[in-house]
Amino acid sequence: GDSVTQMEGPVTLSEEAFLTINCTYTATGYPSLFWYVQYPGEGLQLLLKATKADDKGSNKGFEATYRKETTSFHLEKGSVQVSDSAVYFCALFDMEYGNKLVFGAGTILRVKS
Amino acid sequence: DAGITQSPRHKVTETGTPVTLRCHQTENHRYMYWYRQDPGHGLRLIHYSYGVKDTDKGEVSDGYSVSRSKTEDFLLTLESATSSQTSVYFCAIRRQGSYYGYTFGSGTRLTVV
């Protein structure tokens, strides 16, 4: 079945550092890919999405490119802020797999000032 | 904002007791989902609904049942709570025709002692 694998955390960075969170996927069809963010005590919010190969999703300074050849969707940000501290989830939606979101395990990001 | 409310926000219950969690939406969306969130596992789908009285199992449905007698409410029941069901439970809705239009509730933290 479909699955998503994320790098384990927590990831601890200093403010203004460069961020990469790795995500790879396995899917039977041609999924859409997402990054969700969860701030402390809250539900998940959609951060960005990409619906086909080579698409780049971007939002709030975060970017991720849909790489079909490496089945990856790594999240990047050039300069993180303390307010970016949260849990980040990579996810896929595969129309051939029951129309459901499948999530990775999540990566905790801590940014120190 | 899709107007999605979960209740209760926190609950402590004893092993063997029945527990019902409620998800309420105000915008008449067809698709509703229950996920549980556990460290190292991300969000895993318990059950979902694609209409009134139309429900199906997710990947971790054992020990859980659901009901949807009206569009706006999706109930998750633990018939006899166990310590392994201690978790944070999230409800989500999806806009019909949009495979990325998920909105998540704020979660219910359930502790089974």
B56: which 2 tokens? 């199906």
Do A43 and B107 make contact, defined as CB atoms within 8 angstroms? yes
State residue A96's pLDDT score: 66
Choose the mutation target among B32, B60, B102, B103 for the interface with A, i.e. most A CBs under 10 Å: B102
Higher-confidence residue: B42 or A63? A63
B84 three-class SS = helix
- What angle is formed at CA B68 by the lines to CA A40 and CA B90, rounded to 5 degrees? 10
Total beta-carbon pairs less than 8 A apart between chain A and chain B: 48
Does the distance separating the beta carbons of B44 and A105 come in below 8 Å?
Answer: no
pLDDT value of residue B98:
67
Torsion sign over Cα A93, A96, A100, A102: negative
> Which residue on chain B is closest to A8 by alpha carbon?
B40
CA within 13 Å, CB half, B70: 8
Contact indicator for A36, A91 with CB cutoff of 8 Å: yes
Q: What is the DSSP string of B49-76?
A: EEETTEEEE-TT-TTEEEEEEETTEEEE
Answer yes or no: do B58 and A93 touch at CB < 8 A.
no
What integer is the mean pLDDT of B52-79?
Answer: 95
* Mean pLDDT over each residue of chain B, to the nearest integer: 92
Q: What is the mean pLDDT of residues B60-78?
A: 97
- Position B57 confidence tier, pLDDT thresholds 50, 70, 90: very high
pLDDT beyond 70 at B99? no
pLDDT tens digit string along A53-97? 999 999 999 999 999 999 999 999 999 999 999 999 999 987 766
* Residue in A44, A100, A105 nearest the CB of B40: A105
Confidence at A8, pLDDT banded by 50, 70, 90: confident
Are B106 and A42 in contact (CB < 8 Å)? yes
What is the Cβ-side half-sphere exposure of residue B74, based on CA atoms within 13 angstroms?
32
Task: Name the amino acid, one letter, at B107.
Answer: G
| Predicted confidence (pLDDT) at residue B82 exceeds the cutoff of 80 | yes
User: Where residue A98 falls among pLDDT bands split at 50, 70, 90?
Assistant: low
